[in-house]
Amino acid sequence: MIDPNWLTSALAQAKTKPLTHLVNLEQPLNIEDYICAGGYCGARKAVTELTPKEVLALVSDSGLKGRGGAGFPTGMKWSCVPSLQDKSLAMNATGNSYLICNGDEMEPGTFKDRYLLEGVPHQLIESMIIASYTLSANKAFIFLRGEYHVAAKRLQQAIDQAYENNWLGERIQGTGYRLDLYIHTSAGRYICGEETALINALEGKRANPRAKPPFPQVSGLFGKPTVVNNVETLSNLPHILKHGGEWFKNLSPNSDPGTKIYAACGQVKNPGLWELPMGVTIRELLYEHAGGMKSGMQLKGLLPGGASTDFLVPEHLDTPMDFDSIGKAGSRLGTGGLIVLGDKHCPVAMVLNLLQFFAQESCGWCTPCRDGTAWAVEILTRIEHGQGTSKDLTQLAELCDFMWLGKTHCALAPGAVEPLKSAMRYFKDDFEQHIKQGCCTYHQNNLLSAKYISKVANNG
């Protein structure tokens, strides 16, 4: 049974932290307790009181934007599905469309979806009922990162409970609507986070991105209209249905409505994640919630939205963490996960580490990404090991242009070079020092510290 004291405390935060107030990582709520805490109210309202177009109107009016990185308006994305445009299409037509939840969370520095998947699985199931009903989908899939074993187990338990309690299957809650929900555990590749590569993988094909158009909303999974949404995006739906679009807008003080699950990792005292109003400043997130920099360190730079975003520096600390403000500062909000670089760590080594990841995860479909990321790793490795030349910096700049937007099949390569381009702009001296001195200040300091510690130990 649910602890009454815990429930009272959780419900007190329901309207300010809607996504996370019911999260319990030790033992997530079963369906009875979730309903007792107000769960499935949004789904009940959708399937018993509203038409799909009325649900779409609520979501559109709320201003909800995608939380997976792109920040595209959710209502606008859904509105492209034919069943929401053509009155002649029956809502319950079998196989009319599909909904896919993208739970393939492989962006370095991002772990927000795992928190929701493991801590409150029934919230996602309720969300998918609402979205599937709106899209006239009778089949829905959770595409889950393969390493998320705990999430897979808890989600399956919650799905089984939902079937037993008539929230999935035939005639949901006595209505004419039916929905089957499946978990697909990914074999694992970062590229599966791109929605069309995800669809190919779900069909049993190689996970290469598709050419667009046609967009998935028109021709996606098995050639049917398909919507792919992120875990966090979908998780907002029950609360919008329950409290309304105006409430959702008022959660944030700026133009991007709602809350956001922000995260911080790297050289901070308290790495973790927090649900906060959209638009909290970088300074507040870093120093009030993440506890500031580790002892003896100062901020050198940070990636504001995961590994595939541009560096920002201390002068950007008062920038609000919303889509427009971070864009104007020269980066992207992405997934909202800060990766923080301290002044005693090497930006060249950090960028090399990131590029190694992207080179490994390239699907190999297009030349700029397949060869460009590997070439960048080769050059950065030379520079990091003290074997670089000034020509290497010129080649890296050319590579960044070679792999930029509009020159690749998907956004993996442009995302890979974002931290590289910005590091070369903000930390140019560090790159040049590697080349001129064959090493960097950070390595020299570490070597001196090691020699000093060794000398003290021997004399002791």
Give the 3-state DSSP-derived string for 191-228, with helices as H, strands as E and coil as C.
Answer: HHHCHHHHHHHHCCCCCCCCCCCCCCCCCCHHHCCEEE
Q: What number of other Cβ atoms are within 10 A of residue 166's Cβ? A: 13
d(CA 352, CA 356): 6
E-strand ranges in 215-295 read 226-230, 259-266, 272-277
Q: Token digits for 156? A: 């399956």
Q: How far is CA 113 from CA 7, 68, 186, 236, 270, in A?
A: 22, 9, 15, 12, 19
The residues of the chain scoring below 70 in pLDDT are: 1, 86-95, 441-460
pLDDT for position 453: 35
pLDDT for position 14: 87
pLDDT for position 126: 98
CATH 3.40.50.11540 residue spans of the chain:
4-249
pLDDT for position 94: 47
pLDDT for position 15: 87
CATH 3.10.20.600 residue spans of the chain:
252-342
Residue pair 307/108 in contact by the 8 Å Cβ criterion: yes
d(CA 370, CA 356): 12
Please give the single-letter amino acid code of residue 364. G
pLDDT for position 278: 95
DSSP 8-state secondary structure symbol assigned to residue 87: T
Q: Closest by alpha carbon to 142, among 120, 116, 124?
A: 124
pLDDT for position 443: 59
d(CA 76, CA 60): 7
Read off the pLDDT of residues 299-346 as tens digits, 9 standing for 90 and up.
Answer: 999 999 999 999 999 999 999 999 999 999 999 999 999 999 999 999
The reported pTM is 0.91
pLDDT for position 442: 65
Q: Hey, what CATH class is 347-444 in?
A: mainly alpha
Tell me, which fold does domain 4-249 have in CATH?
Rossmann fold (3.40.50)
Q: Closest by alpha carbon to 232, among 114, 141, 326?
A: 114
* Pair type for strands 226-230 and 97-103: parallel
Q: Closest by alpha carbon to 103, among 119, 118, 122, 117?
A: 117
Q: Token digits for 250? A: 């008022």
Q: Closest by alpha carbon to 259, among 241, 272, 240?
A: 240
Q: Hey, what CATH class is 252-342 in?
A: alpha beta
pLDDT for position 87: 58
CATH 1.20.1440.230 residue spans of the chain:
347-444
